[in-house]
């Protein structure tokens, strides 16, 4: 992906809700989603902008930019010397180690991304990347799902589903029949009755670690928001 910059003496016209015409030595930025921002020397707010326009065209020599979206139009016309440049850009995030290609890894939300090879690894909700490394060379992360698991960023080295299933599959009885609860993936991880679809009992495995037993007989969890039952709707005293 790249960002284009246009710097120099330009006439800028905006037609729409913020209609105006300005001229000056400006810096215009066009982003990968076609958003156009026009900045001058004063302040942090653009003097003109159009967010994710439906259409964007740029010609050179002479420079002419036209962005339009519905009844809004932004035009930039060179009226003096103008320099146009392309800049490679990536996502920006918190550094968390090195990729197998030796490129830097950064965390952006629930993903870890390599800035060089662009490899992308998803993280489960509540995960924390560690300073340790897997045998494959990638960093590991920890996440609480019944107990604390440490896993590789690459699910090919072992998935959270496999880890939770190995530890808790058939660990708990179904409260509504004689079946046992199996660990499955239904969007997130659930503990669902093995007799499904005859028994549709199922509970989302919460972010937290098992901390004893609820008065209803299901496991209790210590979570970031407090102690609770596996059954989020449980009204038992220890639920």
pLDDT tens digits, residue range 54-87? 999 998 878 899 999 999 999 999 999 999 999 9
The CA-CA-CA angle for residues 67, 62, 55, to 5°, reads 15
- Residue 59: both structure tokens together: 């010609």
Average model confidence (pLDDT) across the chain: 93
Look-up: residue for tokens 């390599």?
114
* Per-residue pLDDT tens over the stretch 104-136: 999 999 999 999 999 999 999 999 999 999 999
In this predicted structure, what is the pLDDT of residue 237?
58
d(CA 224, CA 209): 10
Q: Is the pLDDT of residue 236 over 80?
A: no
Burial 65-88 (b: 16+ CB within 10 A, else e): bbbbbeebbbbbebeeebebeeee
């Amino acid at each position: 992906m790249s960002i284009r910059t246009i710097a120099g003496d330009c006439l800028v016209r905006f037609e729409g809700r913020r209609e105006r015409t300005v001229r000056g030595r400006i810096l215009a930025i066009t982003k990968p989603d076609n958003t156009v921002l026009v900045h001058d020397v004063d302040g942090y707010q653009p003097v003109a902008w159009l967010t994710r326009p439906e259409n964007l065209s740029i010609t050179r020599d002479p420079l002419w930019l036209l962005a339009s979206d519905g009844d809004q139009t932004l035009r930039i016309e060179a009226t003096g010397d103008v320099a146009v440049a392309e800049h490679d850009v990536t996502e920006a995030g918190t550094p968390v180690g090195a990729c197998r290609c030796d490129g830097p890894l950064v965390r952006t939300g629930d993903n870890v991304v390599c800035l060089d090879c662009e490899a992308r690894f998803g993280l489960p909700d509540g995960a924390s990347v560690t300073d340790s490394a897997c045998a494959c060379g990638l960093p590991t992360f920890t996440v609480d799902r019944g107990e604390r698991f440490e896993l590789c960023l690459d699910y090919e080295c072992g998935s959270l589903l496999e880890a939770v299933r190995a530890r808790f599959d058939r660990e708990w009885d179904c409260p509504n029949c004689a079946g046992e609860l199996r660990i499955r993936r239904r969007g997130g991880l659930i503990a669902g009755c093995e007799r499904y679809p005859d028994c549709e009992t199922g509970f989302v495995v919460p972010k937290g670690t098992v901390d004893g037993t609820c008065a209803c007989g299901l496991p209790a969890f210590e979570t970031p928001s407090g102690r609770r039952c596996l059954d989020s709707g449980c009204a038992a005293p220890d639920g």
